[in-house]
Every structure is written in structure tokens, then in C-alpha cells.
Amino acid sequence: MGESTMTVGSVALFLFLIVSQTVAVSLLPRTAGFTNLYWTIACLSVYAVSLWSLAYIIHTGMPLSLVVPILAAVVPLMSIAVAVVFYKEAASLLKIFLLCSACGVIGLASAVK
């Protein structure tokens, strides 16, 4: 495994990873339970690219114990934003507060040695 260095490229790839994970999750309703062929192909293709970028980031030395907790915190929040904006789902302030708090706890837990 490579040295753990944060380059502009690795940060850009990490941001791409967050966006691609969010896009993949956001496409799931369009797949109609993987019965709509075209949306299913689109969704699985985005997941494949996303997983490749995750594997590559870890291979280049970004710690798994940093990458996964950040993804576990950020992707659900972004997915809720997509659900509210594009799918017109309701999200109460309490729900958003609790999810943000959970993200904070995840971040805190990943910082503990």
C-alpha cells in the first residue's frame, strides 16, 4: 500500500466518490426494483465506477478508517437532499437534526484511536 498522502488528485477523486455514491443511490427508485433495464444499467454502472474509485483511493493510501466513516456520514445526508429536492419527499427538521447528529458521532468515533 502507498504512503498516506492527501494530494489534490486524491481529494478530487474522493469528492467524485461522494457524488457518484449519491447519484447511484438516487437512481435506485428509477430502477423500479431492478425491473427497468435502462435505469438499472445506469445505476449499476455508476455503482461500478464508484466502487472502482473507492478501491483506488484505498489502494493509493487513503485510510479505510477515514474513507468509510466519511462516506457513511455524507452520502445519506446528500441522499436525503436529493430525495427532498427531486423526489419531493418530506424531511422534518427533527429527522435532519438526528441524521446530522449521527454523522457527528460517526466523525467523532472515527477520530478516536
What are the structural domain ranges in the chain?
Answer: 8-111
Q: Which value, to the nearest 10 degrees, does the dihedral of the CA atoms of residues 55, 74, 42, 53 take? A: -20
- More confident call, 23 vs 68: 23
* Average pLDDT, rounded, for the chain: 89
* pLDDT confidence of residue 66: 83
Mean pLDDT across the stretch 33-58?
A: 97
Mean pLDDT across the stretch 78-99?
A: 89
- The burial of 102, by beta-carbon neighbours within 10 Å (0-12 exposed, 13-18 middle, 19 or more buried), is given as middle
Give how far Cα 54 sits from Cα of 32, 64, 83, Å: 26, 9, 24
Give the cell for residue 6.
492527501
* pLDDT confidence of residue 2: 46
The shares of helix, strand and coil residues in the chain, as percent rounded to the nearest 5, are 80, 0, 20
Q: What percent of the chain has pLDDT over 70?
A: 96
Q: Please, which pLDDT band fits residue 5 given cuts at 50, 70 and 90?
A: low
Residues 13, 53: contact at Cβ < 8 Å?
Answer: yes
